[in-house]
Amino acid sequence: MKRRKKLSVAVVMIALVLVMTACSAKSAYDMSTTSSSEKADYGTSGEYDGNGAQYTDTKYEGVREGAGETNTEEAKAPQSSSDSALTGTNSSSTGNTAAQSNEKIIRTFYMDVETQEFDTLITKLNSEINRLGGYVESSEISGRSYSYSYATRYGEIVARIPSAKVDGFVNTVDKNANVVNKQESTENVSLQYIETEGRIETLKIEQERLYALLEKEDTLDDILVLENRLSEIRYELQNYGSQLRYYDNKVAYSTVTLSIQEVAKLTPVSEQKETVGTRIQNGLSETLYNLSEGFQNFFVWFVVNLPYLLIWGVIIAVIVIIARSRIKKYKAKRSTAPAPIIVNNGQSGSDTPDGQ
């Protein structure tokens, strides 16, 4: 029982020491370079093998091969570039370039566009997305081709474009559609990324030490305590690995949301202040256009609904004819009816008709 308590206290002490070391990403990186046996790096796949949570890291291999320095200097390279990215120091042009290359920037675009050639624009956008090496995350198209001057087709495309090529894709949209609204947002997740990496390194160091203790233990209770903690560490490593993969995906592929509306007339987008004359001209042009569209719409409506109008015209004509016939009969009946007879009830002679 005392042995189990001592082991529990030892595990708690190890956990506390490692948590304190995780408070600084720099300390975590220094600890990870003290021994090659304690280095279990996280790679682009971020998968856990289930037998020790060993990760494969190729994140800084390109920097190491290009630098041609010693192992100690190679281990410090990512640390200095990360510190530069977080503190914003510019000690030299080389350090500034390295910091910029290691920054984790998530870019997001939203564009509200109009087009008179809906199908053509959709085809061009899909072709451009494939050409740039991106993919469509979601797509929705609703409605049908516009009737008269009213647009009824609408589409929304959420595209993921490689970050290095997203500006070219945005320019392509500008050239092929009328952009009425464009928004861009950026988010720097470098701090969150490095903190997550530091937690992963700390957990892996704790994991290796617990494995070393597990090999020395022979009592079932002590083994269960260690296995329980190792299970928690594996779960945390998987969660942090998923978070890093999420950041990597968002940084590597920018998100562009396109809201596409089919219209008969494009909305004018003025780039400079309009004068009074220009406003009057545009207003008159808009009024004439609306009048023209109104007459056209009325003519089309009249022709389209002419069969209904004819049917209702015949019905109304029949009703009018029947009504007029009944009115004539009623008037004729009243004209041929005998006049009413007035009866004298003993009144004076002056009140009787002449000759009576």
The pLDDT > 70 percentage for the chain reads: 62
pLDDT band at 209 (very low <50, low <70, confident <90, very high): very high
pLDDT, average across residues 181-197: 95
Distance CA 58, CA 164 (A): 21
SS3 132: coil
pLDDT in tens, 69-90: 333 333 333 443 334 333 444 4
Of all residues in the chain, what percent are helix, strand and coil, respectively (each to 5)?
A: 60, 15, 25
pLDDT, average across residues 24-32: 43
Q: Nearest-CA neighbor of 209 among 236, 233, 242, 240? A: 233
Report phi then psi at 134, rounded to 5: -95, -165
Tokens 């050409």 correspond to 131
Whether the per-residue pLDDT at 182 is higher than 80: the answer is yes
For residue 335, the model assigns a pLDDT of 76
Q: Nearest-CA neighbor of 120 among 130, 110, 128? A: 128
- For residue 57, what are its two tokens? 């890291």
Distance CA 225, CA 8 (A): 8
Whether the per-residue pLDDT at 171 is higher than 70: the answer is yes
Q: What is the pTM of this model?
A: 0.54
Distance CA 140, CA 134 (A): 18
Whether the per-residue pLDDT at 100 is higher than 90: the answer is no
pLDDT, average across residues 4-28: 58
- Domains of the chain, start order: 2-102+190-250 (no CATH), 106-189+254-262 (3.30.70)
Whether the per-residue pLDDT at 338 is higher than 70: the answer is no
Instruction: Tell me the one-letter amino acid at 321.
Output: I
For residue 347, the model assigns a pLDDT of 53
pLDDT band at 339 (very low <50, low <70, confident <90, very high): low
Whether the per-residue pLDDT at 2 is higher than 60: the answer is no
pLDDT in tens, 278-322: 778 777 877 877 787 788 888 888 888 989 989 999 999 999 999
pLDDT-wise least confident of 77-81, 107-111, 280-284, 338-342: 77-81
Collect all residues with Cβ–Cβ distance below 8 Å to 266 and sequence separation of at least 6.
Answer: 114, 116, 178
Q: Which residue has the higher pLDDT, 333 or 348?
A: 333
Whether the per-residue pLDDT at 98 is higher than 90: the answer is no
pLDDT in tens, 225-283: 999 999 999 999 999 999 999 999 999 999 999 999 998 888 877 666 667 777 787 77
The count of other CB atoms within 10 Å of the CB of residue 84 is 21
Q: Which range is most confident: 146-155, 285-294, 307-316, 327-336?
A: 307-316
Distance CA 261, CA 112 (A): 8
pLDDT-wise least confident of 9-13, 23-27, 213-217: 23-27
Distance CA 126, CA 135 (A): 9
Q: Which residue has the higher pLDDT, 286 or 53?
A: 286
Instruction: Tell me the one-letter amino acid at 263.
Output: V
Q: Which residue has the higher pLDDT, 30 or 335?
A: 335
pLDDT band at 172 (very low <50, low <70, confident <90, very high): very high
Q: Which range is most confident: 49-58, 141-150, 222-231?
A: 222-231
Name the average pLDDT for the chain: 74
For residue 18, the model assigns a pLDDT of 60
